[in-house]
Amino acid sequence: MKLLFLLLLFILGHCRTPWYLLDDYTFEQYQAEFQRTYSPEEFSLRQSIFERKLKAIREHNANPTNTWKAGVNHFTDRTEGEFRTRLGVKKGLVHKHHAESIVVERPPLTMSPIPVSVDWRDKGIITPVKDQGECGSCWTFATTEVTESYWAMATGKLNILSEQQILDCTPNPQHCGGTGGCEGGTVELAWAQITATGGLSSEWTYPYTSYFGSDYTCKMSQISHVAKVAKFVNLPPNEQDPVLNYIATTGPLAISVDASSWSPYETGVFNGCNQTNPDLDHAVMLVGYGTDPQYGDYWLVRNSWSPQWGDDGYIKIKRESPVTCGVDLNPSDGDGCDNGPPTVTVCGTCGILYDTLYPIVSH
């Protein structure tokens, strides 16, 4: 039976069992598929979490009104606290939206019709999906991923850049989005530091070592600049047309989102966020947009939770028209700093339109 199960996975070309084959899925199959081993004391806890989540996944997928499908992945046996380490946040901080040095730009809207769909992966400027592991380093991954793309557009070289340099060498005295390192930060903070220190190293010269959640000191001897950033620019917050136009005509963007409900996502157009009080807690990369023939318009977002999660590491987020807004009651979970307002209005599904930015590279 186990051999047949593995053979079926091979034939279907999936790295994990797809959502439509979960009717008879078992905890033993999950352990084999995700190479899980537990201590005797841990086994019952993990099995209980898995069975509760699998029940919810099956119930969600049985509802024909849902526009997305849930599946099993490397989070299915994890607690909520363990999952939140993937978000790069620290609770209890006070909000300040943008530092005074941030440039906000309103690019001219194109006069010609934009394409009905855009996927910057098709342009050969997107590196493979990465995995931040158990470190709250999403802010560094979003920074490197977008920098990689703009450096590739400018030079023709698609380098894989160093998240660890950002983690180790970016001070965070105002507690922007966290306290720094695996305890959280912001893309704005990362690009400001890269600009100030002269550039960003490659992954190969300054490799990622914080996968299991440890922080390290800055290793100046390993910094050998491969890509340089002159400055970074924010689009107007909470406006859809500038974001849509920019993605269509210019390039991908770094964004902040509420990813607290993303863990079971597998495929489809996701609309499962809290739209009344979205809690921006995660930095990711916006790489395109399109329209699903069944579920409607979407934004295409690259995540940093490995290709085992979602649609090979990506998620389609509902693209609304007209746009709805909510109030983030914990803005310091996203890009907030000390000594700012306690709440902020954020717009778009999962708050996707609030904090959108891109780098200007120099070479």
Please say which residue of 78, 97, 123 terminates a domain: 78
Give the closest residue to 199 by CA, choosing from 185, 178, 171, 220: 220
Same domain? For 24 and 95 the reply is no
Checking if the pLDDT of 2 tops 80, the result is no
The SS3 of residue 320 is: coil
The reply to whether 135 and 203 lie within a common domain is yes
| Domain's final residue, options 51, 78, 105 | 78
Size of the chain, expressed as the number of residues it contains: 363
Indicate if 113 and 58 belong to the same structural domain: no
CATH number at residue 198: 3.90.70.10
Please count the CA atoms within 13 angstroms of the CA of 133 that sit on its side-chain side.
Answer: 12
Residue range of the domain that includes 12 = 2-78
Same domain, 358 and 222: yes
Do 124 and 148 belong together in one domain?
yes
Is residue 83 in some structural domain?
A: no
Write out pLDDT tens, residues 49-105.
999 999 999 999 999 999 999 999 999 999 999 999 888 744 333 233 344 445 667
pLDDT at residue 339 in the model: 57
One domain, residues 68 and 181: no
Task: Output Rg (C-alpha) for the chain, integer angstroms.
Answer: 20
pLDDT at residue 261 greater than cutoff 80: yes
Are 191 and 45 found together in one domain?
A: no
24 shares its domain with 171:
no
Same domain, 114 and 46: no
Could you tell me which residues come within 8 angstroms of residue 215 by beta carbon, excluding any fewer than 6 positions away?
167, 168, 180, 181, 182, 183
Contact 189, 176 (CB under 8 A): yes
More confident residue, 142 or 105: 142
CATH number at residue 42: 1.10.287
Separation between Cα atoms, residue 165 and residue 168, nearest integer Å: 5
Which of 13-17, 126-130, 174-178, 216-220 is least confident? 13-17
Specify the number of domains making up the chain.
Answer: 2
pLDDT of residue 331: 59
Residues 55 and 93 in one domain: no
Residues annotated as part of the active site: 138, 282, 303
How many other C-beta atoms lie within 10 A of the C-beta of residue 202?
16
pLDDT score recorded for residue 99: 43
Q: Can you spell out the DSSP letters for 59-76?
A: HHHH-TT-SEEE---TTT
Residue 204 lies in a domain: yes
- Helix or strand or coil: residue 347? strand
pLDDT of amino acid 26? 97
Mean pLDDT of the chain: 89
Question: Pick from 59, 78, 97: which residue ends a domain?
Answer: 78
Residues 99 and 175 in one domain: yes
Dihedral sign for Cα atoms in the order 18, 19, 20, 25: positive
